[in-house]
Amino acid sequence: MGIFSRKGASGFSASSTAEKVTQGIEGTGLTAIVTGASSGIGAETARVLALRGLHVVMAVRNMDAGATVKETILKEIPNAKIDVRQLDLSSLASVRNFASDYNSSGLPLNILINNAGAGATPFKLSQDSIELVFATNHLGHFLLTNLLLETMKSTSRESNREGRIVNVSSLLHQYGYREGIRFDKINDTAGYNRYFAYAQSKLANVLHANELTRRMKEEGVEITANSLHPGAIGTKITRNDCFFQCLFNVFGIFTGKTIPQGAATTCFVALHPQVQGVSGEYFVDCNIAKSSSQAKDADLAAKLWDFSLTLTNPK
């Protein structure tokens, strides 16, 4: 961690690791899905949750990479309960297949961690003809969450335990297009800026969690939804982009995190008793933080929800 690391109200800071923030927490009997668990903070999140006794389902695009992570975890934690299942979030068909298989498996679902993400890439369309970064970072997770919600609701009712949905966003959510979400220009190549597009998808992650919160409270369902910024971490997303890598090299001296530190806020929001009943919040360094004004816009969140439904409904 960089030279600045001050503890917040939670008692944790930017230098806290995922193991540290979950120390003493017993997760036996809980089941969690972690998307993008084949590398980086997703893999570390899966490892720490398994260490705390959870049954972890690794939802990964690359099954070979996922199997390698599982093998590594089992070497450290021989009694870990780990499954690896295929999921390509850029494909709505893949999301539907994953959710259908999971819902028919009979497994409960206490925690859903929407962690996987694509970086700032040149313009490209997904298999469903939707701009790839938005499709992967937001739309795939939106559909996955919706398709798994009934299983989460029944798990919460039957176990009498709160369910938790965790969206891994980014501090960059506030640095996107002026209008926030370009509803009418999602596939506009002329005005496309890959860094703004990435920020747009991260804004969508925060808005999604906030709208989920409103809907769950309206239904009286004990499921929380929160978003977070994991920190500046040298994962594949930054390593494959020269601009992000330069930023990381410059600012990482002061604010950079290791992968165990980068997974801390995710694990804190997913497991810690301090987050019991907390929903619709944005976390940084294991503490509640301020998101952008657009991220707090309830009308924008509702509009994004309806827009996302339109894009994900089978035709």
What is the spatial distance between Cα 223 and Cα 235, in angstroms, rounded to a whole number?
30
CA dist 217 → 146, 160, 268, 298 (Å): 16, 16, 22, 14
SS3 213: helix
Spatial CB neighbours of 39, under 8 Å, sequence gap ≥ 6: 65, 69, 235, 236
DSSP state of 160: T
Spatial CB neighbours of 285, under 8 Å, sequence gap ≥ 6: 8, 12, 13, 14, 16, 231, 264, 265
Of 283, 270, 282, the C-alpha closest to 31 is 270
Task: Tell me the one-letter amino acid at 248.
Answer: F
What is the spatial distance between Cα 133 and Cα 275, in angstroms, rounded to a whole number?
30
DSSP state of 118: -
195 included as an active-site residue: no
- Indicate the pairing of strand 31-35 with strand 55-60: parallel
What is the spatial distance between Cα 177 and Cα 198, in angstroms, rounded to a whole number?
10
Of 159, 287, 148, 163, the C-alpha closest to 225 is 163
Residue 257 phi/psi, 5-degree rounding, is -125, 155
What is the spatial distance between Cα 291 and Cα 227, in angstroms, rounded to a whole number?
10
Catalytic residue among 102, 177, 192, 198: 192
Q: How many other β-carbons are positioned within 10 Å of the β-carbon of residue 290?
A: 10
Q: Which residues have a catalytic role annotated?
A: 192
